[in-house]
Structure 1
């Protein structure tokens, strides 16, 4: 038995070693860094060579095209802290939505209770006034009425106290509801640029695609942004990102401009064809390129800041991932053709 176990252990070890070697060869062939995301992607791909992921990779790499990091992210096999953060974000968003519904229900109950309490208080006050009138009419013979009047007055005091507490609770429920609405909005907004974020972009695409809108998607990337951070620091880099966000928002007014992540922005054009979308995006590109940026602290020139973009027209059966992937490939074409330009397809 010990010998059988040893053979099995050896076979399992050999299989693991072969898979490990295949993963290394795949990463080397695709010129991908051996980081956790790429390693996990290769593992899922090679563990099931006939699965849907393998078929998608075969379609992407047909003709010798190498995978990019964005291809891996778009195929949904990211196994980094970012993935768990996205999952946790969705769970948190669901919890916020559920809590908001409960708060709204509580607020409705508070309003109903206030209305009923106020009505009861008015009736009780009218009864107290009637009793006092009766006491005045019967004089000193109204001993029983005195006791009823005392009880009624005590009840009225308690009702007034309850009304005050209910009013305070209603205000608190209303404030909490507003804060929850703000929290849900913040979950879809980039804190630096205050633009919608990746989640908001994907949700907007899903909604507008389902409504049958004509869509175009642009993916924009700041040229040589790493050098800006390296030379001037991240604070200056952040200001550059905010300036580009503002230029895109102004030029593409009426369309959804989002910060996709890092130095990448995306624009979802709805209701217009590819050419007018390209002209609009090129106006934003020219505006950014023409501006002469300076350091706020010393007024020294920052140098030319530009961005490149890929713009793709959506098809009826496009998913967000497929449309984004086409736009991203066009972005790479723009980068490889000198940058500071828009490529369409």
Structure 2
């Protein structure tokens, strides 16, 4: 057997291995439950958008009533709510050519959306809230969770580090918390009161918010 013939199977084996490795890497960057980008993958892509576009909305979504849904109907329904939220978030961003969404953990999601005009931010947040809080179907039942959403626009933030992703996520988090204190809904950072922060996050902020606002129907 000549060297060319021997190298054929070896090259084919490496080709299969390379495809397998790429699939493993792609899978690792996606949250297995929601199918959205993981936190690290989201932050990388959101940072890329912020570096290249003047008006980028950074959005933080926290579900309301998620713990009550889990406690009442079980974790399978909670998982279904996470998947439904991810689907609603993706559907709401379909019309935006440059957008990225991720699951940060628990019942918390984030998105970065390039806007052609900064005045579009309220319409974006309202549309996201309407999509996410719509009923979802599970085992023949219509269920729902509420949502508190905060949004910060990069062009409204101070130049420099204020327009970087960590600062914008903090502003979106503060706006989301303001919405949650009001019973849910959406809020822009421009109207949210300044809150004290610790290590770049709102002081006293738990990992997830489980304040029940709406019972599952």
**What TM-score does the superposition give when structure 1 sets the normalisation length?**
0.49
Partner residue of 1:218?
A: 59
The alpha carbon displacement at 1:164 in A equals 3.1
What is the Cα deviation at residue 313 of structure 1? 0.8
Residue 202 of structure 2 corresponds to which residue in structure 1?
A: none
Instruction: Report the number of matched residues.
Output: 181
- Of residues 121, 134, 148, the one that matches 1:308 is 148
Q: Is the 8 A contact 1:274 1:312 kept in 2?
A: no
Q: CA deviation at 1:290?
A: 3.6
* Residue of structure 1 in register with 2:20 after alignment: 179
CA contact (8 A) 2:121 2:153 kept: no
Q: CA deviation at 1:205?
A: 2.4
Query: 5+ unaligned residues in a row in structure 1: which ranges?
Result: 1-157
1:289 paired residue among 110, 133, 143: 133
Aligned partner of 1:257 in structure 2 is 101
| Structure 2: 5+ residue stretches without partners | 190-217
C-alpha displacement of 1:294: 4.5
- Specify which structure has the bigger relative contact order, considering alpha-carbon pairs within 8 angstroms and separated by 6 or more residues: 2
Q: Give the SS at the match of 1:189.
A: coil
Q: Indicate the residue corresponding to 1:280 in structure 2.
A: 124
1:163 and 1:240 map into 2 onto residues whose CA distance is 55
Provide Cα deviations, 1:161-200, integer angstroms capped at 9, x if missing partner. Answer: x333311111111111112212222222111111111111
1:169 is aligned to 2:13: no
In angstroms, what is the RMSD of aligned CA positions?
1.8
Partner SS, residue 149 of structure 2: strand
| Equivalent residue, structure 2, for 1:244 | 85
Indicate the residue corresponding to 1:320 in structure 2: 165
Distance 2:86 2:50 in 1: 24
In 2, Cα distance between equivalents of 1:305 and 1:229: 11
Instruction: Find the residue that maps to 1:195 and give its secondary structure.
Output: coil
Q: Give SS of 1:334's match.
A: helix
> What is the CA–CA distance in structure 1 between the aligned matches of 2:88 and 2:147, rounded to whole Å?
11
SS at structure 2 position matched to 1:194: coil
> Is the partner of 1:190 in helix, strand or coil?
coil
- Which residue of structure 1 aligns with residue 47 of structure 2? 206
Indicate conservation of the 8 Å contact 1:251/1:281, yes or no: no
Equivalence for 1:331: 176
Q: Which has the greater radius of gyration?
A: 1
Compare the two structures and name the one with the higher helix fraction.
1
- Comparing 219-228 with 184-193, greater Cα deviation is found at 184-193
> Closer, same or farther in 2 for the Cα pair 1:194/1:279, shift >3 Å?
same
Residue 222 of structure 1 contacts residue 263 of structure 1 at CA under 8 Å; is this kept in 2?
yes
